[in-house]
Structure 1
């Protein structure tokens, strides 16, 4: 690694430890990143990774859930976890003198969580409430429907949360077996950013985690094949949420930087083409945006808007018109320059956060096996030309090939796309 403040070591059991020392910092952000997510679950396992996320702080062989919370509060530490399609993360933020306490807690929960049946039944109700909250949130649920419309029956098309039937079926034995099989050292990256000394951290990690052995299992991910269907989900509400999903690019694709810049231009900020056309000039929607979704072996172009049922067809006509314009007309240099500056500023601003730096460390190692320095990202952005944008648009922005999801008081006969 060329950045002298960033170091990487591999423990004897294949756990990777990546650190970034930030001289002015007095705190540390630490994340345990695991290369296991919702897409690695079978249909019957759907929701298990997320269930484990909830249970991980609910008690070990030596600590109750209350004792874990009490220890964290006693040092002013903040800890949480999240589950994504392709990874899970357990993280903490704390004052640098409390590193040993945090390592002790994380070591305990990752190696000795009991998944107590009583705690499982209690947390099951919390997860069911979270599922209801997601289903009640129009934006979230519409994007879930888009995943189904684009990925079909592949695990990428399922909810990270799982469904009611699965959530209600998981027991301690099932959860513990899945956890022990999947959350093995070779899938783990431990990332720390802040006031850290790499050699000292590695010594501590080797002592805490070094004796954990691999189970010898591997996860073979099957690349999804998009089906690009249309889904209409009737719901009695004021608005219709409309989501469009088209071809995208995976994280390791050389086109990922062009994909990002294209989406800034298309619907990534307030001066973007869709925001100006749909909201500012025609007042059809309050919320309209596009975003690039990228995963290890696949990606999706996402467009979202929420509007009155009577305005859906006009909005779709303008979306098609906007996409066709990008496909057929070369982008102005000034528009591209503004998008580049927006991207570069966003990246630099994110580096002001110690937590964001830890996230970049962990994700870079998990996704790419190396740290990607800022200058490399900026260089790749700077090289993008108007012809690159148009060429990508011609490849992915054909509305007739996109999956679509409609949530609200509308049916298929009402939509003329």
Structure 2
């Protein structure tokens, strides 16, 4: 049996005012091609199908298009809810999608037998048993008790999640034993595990309650397909416990990462191989930093490495100890004539703090209104478009006040 493991699509994401619709559409088309080319039996989407609990209509259309396209390949599709997904939204078409060989597990089911799924090969025979475990919300498995300390709550939640995995795994073993007794067992999950390397786009899912789930607490499944972390990685160095990562970069710190989906081959002897399939880059992104003198070269180099058909999305971090009221204009001038879009401009925190310290003796009497506004805006981390709109609004207000005084 061959499973394609993917996760964290975040359909409907808006990134600093930019839609990801074209990227997601290109990814789905590529994915369907890989399903056909690689002879995939099952596609396992391990959570965060959508970016929000109320995704825009075009994101739902993309998902529906994907369901139909995967069905036409002859592969089975299993969709698990993540922490970004609404249980109600993801589950609303569950019964209908089952007719398209698609199984949706939006949240923890009261009847845990509903989370044990047979995975079917293209020949219609069962090739593996899946412990279909989505993102587990604390209220799904735990009742709060009065008088518990934070440490007690953490331990109680870890124990409850471990118990849920063990119970579903036991049901899967019973299902396996009721067949030929040699089928491999696959488990899923959408959570942070000990030792996983996250990114700035990853939202902590058990803030203040559960830092990370211990790797040794997973049941002894032949393969554990995880979602939530956007960097592809093995967990604890084990081939059988994997994050496949997101298929597109969801933050500038993910720019330059090789995104991938995983081909997982199993037979009656267990896990045979895990093969990464690199996902093409559908929208180039880059993060550059340096002094203004260095940035001219850095921005030009980043633009040259981008995709010619689409402007490069750019984050710029400026190292400077000087206060520059026109920093935005200077950086935009460096981008002129290049196939780039400046989405975020930042000052390096260390140099910004040093500059503020150097100006500590200044008073408002020494500064013009324009300088006060510029320095206040500089202290905020806003993207380029928002910053420019705030400057336009400021200039408009100042002009109106001057007209009143004239």
Q: What's the TM-score bracket when you normalise by the shorter of the two chains?
A: under 0.3
Larger RCO (alpha carbons 8 Å, 6+ apart): 1
Structure having the larger proportion of residues in helix: 1
- Bigger share in strand: 2
- Asked which structure has the greater CA Rg, the reply is 2
TM-score by length of 1: 0.22
